[in-house]
Amino acid sequence: MEIRDVQFIRGVTGSEGLPEVDRPTVAFFGRSNVGKSSVINALVRRKDMARSSSRPGRTTEVNYFSVNDSWYLADTPGYGYARLSKVFMEKIAKHLSWYAGAPEVTLRLAVVVIDAEIGLQDADRETIAVLQDAGRTVLILGNKSDKGRRNDISNHIREAEREFPDCRVIRYSAKTGEGRSDLLGAISDVIG
């Protein structure tokens, strides 16, 4: 699959703002500061489509993009940032839980971005569990595979595969492009 055209549609905070359900959605989930924006930008080969911030927790909406006028890419708010207020973290968790289970969301693939350098965190496990409980197909993307010790990264990838045998796990580097073709292939498989 080649990504030729990407257009921002809108930011969504509830069902009433969802775009038309005329096409499948691939949504990206991940902890704040895991590099989710970099993953998305590398995937679509645009430097600033998904915006990152030096202040974690800034994104509070699910941002929808139309890709090739045939599927939606959804960028969800980052979760699990300890310096945010408990009330704000609970609000984001509730929003993501709604989004994961909403029948009006045409979510074909939930990509959970983890930091391959440090491995799965409890917040990642909780997000994967919520998505699986909602019957969503989950792909775990081990970002930052170009950093740290190669052996540690391999161990973290294997740990994710063992812990979640029903999920495909892909090694990924937004910096080098490692895993991009695998991710595009997985997306292509689910969007038809």
Look up the CATH number of the domain holding residue 18.
Answer: 3.40.50.300
In a domain, 59, yes or no: yes
In a domain, 32, yes or no: yes
Say what the pTM is.
0.90
Distance CA(110)–CA(172), nearest Å, equals 16
Summarize pLDDT for 77-87 with one digit per residue, the tens: 888 655 556 66
In a domain, 39, yes or no: yes
In a domain, 157, yes or no: yes
User: 54 pLDDT band (50/70/90 cuts)?
Assistant: very low
Summarize pLDDT for 145-175 with one digit per residue, the tens: 988 788 889 999 999 999 999 999 999 998 9
Q: Which two tokens stand for residue 101?
A: 């289970």
Q: Is the pLDDT of residue 6 over 70?
A: yes
In a domain, 1, yes or no: no
In a domain, 106, yes or no: yes
In a domain, 75, yes or no: yes
In a domain, 137, yes or no: yes
Angle, CA 174 vertex, CA 168 and CA 46 arms, to 5°: 115
Number of domains in the chain: 1
Q: Find the domain containing 51 and state its range.
A: 6-191
The SS3 of residue 86 is helix
Contacts of 148 (CB under 8 A, 6+ apart): 116, 117
